[in-house]
Structure 1
Amino acid sequence: MAGDPYEALGVAKTASDAEIKKAYRKIAKSDHPDLNPDPSATARFKAASAAYDLLKDAEQRRRFDAGEIDAQGQERPQRHSYREHAEAAGNPYARSYGFDGDPDLSGVFSDLFGRRGGRGGFSGFQQEEFSDPRDFHVRGQDYRFNLEIDFMTAANGGKTRITLPDGGDLGVTIPKGVRDGQTIRLKGKGGKGIGGGGPGDAYLTVSIAPHPEFTRDGNDVFLTLPISIDEAILGGKVPVPTIDGPVNLTIPKGASSGRKLRLRGRGINGGDQHVELKVVMPAKPDEALEAFMEEWRKDHGYDPRAGTKAGG
């Protein structure tokens, strides 16, 4: 181990024994080679193991803090030679990664591998300890994804596919009526477990893309429906889109913009659809319509602003 053992464990020099052990456990659970094949993780784990082996012994820690031994547990050159120290009984750095035969560390690795260390404790990278994958159990990693779906798929349900971290893909069934921000759990669709550990889960956080016509509040759906001036005056049946396809809606005579009508049960999962009417004039009124309105206004004109501040 090179460098400062406190730095390797990420603790202050004033850390308690319990804090040092906790820091080592955390690194072991994230960077042990059987859990994380990344070479940089292996290097961190080896450094942390050597650091813990030095600092867990109160006398060794005192001597290191006093400058009597270096971070590798060796005597300072002016006191003893490297050979003298290396051959001395009890030198911890004759061991592989600082936890062979240490009953104190068996608890650390039983957390990781679902068992107590056997013959003399957990043996780090010694092959015989890992020859049978059934000897330890680590649950697979959970996967988390952000999944954007369109409005109609959210309303009516559907199927899509997502790409997994390992490059594969996974078919996903979207339940009918899923909400924006809702998380869908796919049990057992996460990473593979180690040994006898089961697979992790996949969690999909859903975001719903806006629809050009529909909006939603809970299970109710809202729509603004343009109607012509003659439909507003004379009423009649007009087609209106719903999430299940178009249906006929009865427009009452004399309907105004802003009037709201309801289609019961035409929303999501039994909700309603609310239709707001919007009277739309022709893009360019023709002469016949203008002439008719001129005559009509002479005898039938009215003030829709009467009784309001705008009408005086």
Structure 2
Amino acid sequence: MDFKDYYATLGVKRDATQDEIKRAYRKLARKFHPDVSKEADAEARFKEVAEAHEALIDPERRAAYDDIAQRHARGETFQPPPGWDTGFEFSGRGGAGPGGQQAPSAEDFSAFFEAIFGRGGPGARPAARGHREAPGRDHHAKVMIDLEDSYRGARRTISLRVPVVDAHGHVALHDRQLEVNIPPGVREGQHLRLAGQGGPGHGGEPAGDLYLEIALKPHPQFRVDGRDVYVDLPVSPWEAALGATVAAPTPSGEVHLTIPAGSVQGRKLRLKGRGLPGKPPGDLYAVLTLTLPRAGSDAAQAAYAALRAAFPDFDPRVAQEG
């Protein structure tokens, strides 16, 4: 998949106004329209021009594309990284394109376009025109929170970037901050509704709502699956073989966990109700990982030699019974 310079495709500067983009598109669309053009590659060029116009004519899509383009210019990968669209506030959701029509499929536009816009990312449906009285449109944004906030709940200040067109027709990002209550047990992909924080109403009609899609920041210790939480728990060979009581971390604090005798690598020990809060709450699973001490001294080497003598028929590359 190659990076696409949509500005170059339309032959406009990066600070072009929306009107300049529209005029450039119309000129090139007439030139390369397959029904009238004599160019050998007219159909392919027409599709490229249409894709560039689709990406840049909408202020929200253009702001998202500019963010990816700036990463590419700095030498970063242009493939959208996880959570790249966090903090973008945009109107519309669910794959609809300009004019309220269904967003083009991968057959119409390139894989690059689909990677940025094809899964419900920033992209607007223009509001209906000609109505003096109209309620505000609902807005959407993705925000990332810490796993600990999902456990305990929190009140946080979030920053959002709103793409707007200024008086000169240029797209700019305006920042705004909101105080948000995060309820305990909120999950990945869940939406929080902030009433009246969306687009403004017209003619005395109420403002729209703002829906915040929750994403959990990657945690250095814990993995989340729905409401269940997983953590790797290192244990020594003798703790696994003989049994032991060890300290185990959880997002809500340390607990003491009993390791049954005869445990093996990868065994999952369930702590019921220690996952994300809810009705019912999730569980926490401690996944045992055997950790071997180094044979860094004569005594340690003698201990390993004695262990080898005690299990003369043991072959770690053959499946063990029990």
TM-score by length of 1: 0.51
Given that 1:158 and 1:174 are in contact with CA atoms closer than 8 Å, whether structure 2 keeps it comes out as yes
| Paired residue type of 2:159 | T
| Paired residue type of 2:154 | G
Larger Rg: 1
CA–CA distance in structure 1, aligned partners of residues 245 and 287 of structure 2: 15
2:298 equivalent to 1:287: yes
Residue 284 (structure 2) aligns with:
273
2:210 equivalent to 1:202: yes
**Counterpart secondary structure, 2:181:** strand
Pick aligned residue for 2:179 from 166, 171, 183: 171
CA–CA distance in structure 2, aligned partners of residues 257 and 187 of structure 1: 49
2:176 equivalent to 1:180: no
Pick aligned residue for 1:140 from 136, 146, 165: 136
Higher helix share: 1
| Paired residue type of 1:192 | P
CA–CA distance in structure 1, aligned partners of residues 267 and 294 of structure 2: 22
In the TM superposition, what is the alpha-carbon distance from 1:304 to its structure 2 partner?
Answer: 4.6
CA–CA distance in structure 2, aligned partners of residues 284 and 248 of structure 1: 29
TM-superposition CA deviations, 1:39-92 (whole Å, max 9, x none): xxxxxxxxxxxxxxxxxxxxxxxxxxxxxxxxxxxxxxxxxxxxxxxxxxxxxx
Tell me: higher relative CO, structure 1 or 2? Use CA pairs within 8 A at least 6 residues apart. 2
2:165 equivalent to 1:157: no
TM-score by length of 2: 0.49
Given that 1:187 and 1:201 are in contact with CA atoms closer than 8 Å, whether structure 2 keeps it comes out as yes
Equivalent residues in 2 for 1:1-312 (5 A)? 112-113=131-132, 137-163=133-159, 165=162, 167-269=175-277, 270-305=281-316, 308=319
**Counterpart secondary structure, 2:286:** strand
- Measured at CA, do residues 196 and 179 of structure 1 come closer, stay the same or move farther in structure 2, by a change above 3 Å? same
TM-superposition CA deviations, 1:236-281 (whole Å, max 9, x none): 2111111211100011233321122111111112211111111111
| Paired residue type of 2:300 | L
| Paired residue type of 1:149 | I
| Paired residue type of 2:156 | T
Residue 6 (structure 2) aligns with:
none
In the TM superposition, what is the alpha-carbon distance from 1:203 to its structure 2 partner?
Answer: 1.4
Residue 29 (structure 1) aligns with:
none
- Measured at CA, do residues 262 and 167 of structure 1 come closer, stay the same or move farther in structure 2, by a change above 3 Å? closer
TM-superposition CA deviations, 1:120-153 (whole Å, max 9, x none): xxxxxxxxxxxxxxxxx43224332221222222
In the TM superposition, what is the alpha-carbon distance from 1:296 to its structure 2 partner?
Answer: 3.9
In the TM superposition, what is the alpha-carbon distance from 1:292 to its structure 2 partner?
Answer: 2.5
CA–CA distance in structure 1, aligned partners of residues 255 and 139 of structure 2: 42
In the TM superposition, what is the alpha-carbon distance from 1:307 to its structure 2 partner?
Answer: 5.9
| Paired residue type of 2:146 | D
| Paired residue type of 1:248 | H
CA RMSD across the alignment: 2.8
In the TM superposition, what is the alpha-carbon distance from 1:214 to its structure 2 partner?
Answer: 1.0
**Counterpart secondary structure, 2:207:** coil
Structure 2, unaligned runs of 5 or more: 1-25, 27-128, 163-173
**Counterpart secondary structure, 2:293:** coil
In the TM superposition, what is the alpha-carbon distance from 1:209 to its structure 2 partner?
Answer: 1.6
CA–CA distance in structure 2, aligned partners of residues 167 and 215 of structure 1: 32
In the TM superposition, what is the alpha-carbon distance from 1:168 to its structure 2 partner?
Answer: 4.2
**Counterpart secondary structure, 2:263:** coil
| Paired residue type of 2:283 | D
| Paired residue type of 2:211 | Y
CA–CA distance in structure 2, aligned partners of residues 304 and 245 of structure 1: 39
In the TM superposition, what is the alpha-carbon distance from 1:176 to its structure 2 partner?
Answer: 2.3
Given that 2:146 and 2:216 are in contact with CA atoms closer than 8 Å, whether structure 1 keeps it comes out as yes
Structure 1, unaligned runs of 5 or more: 1-6, 8-107, 114-136
CA–CA distance in structure 2, aligned partners of residues 302 and 175 of structure 1: 56
In the TM superposition, what is the alpha-carbon distance from 1:235 to its structure 2 partner?
Answer: 2.2
CA–CA distance in structure 1, aligned partners of residues 247 and 310 of structure 2: 34
| Paired residue type of 1:287 | D
- Measured at CA, do residues 192 and 256 of structure 1 come closer, stay the same or move farther in structure 2, by a change above 3 Å? same
CA–CA distance in structure 2, aligned partners of residues 295 and 170 of structure 1: 64
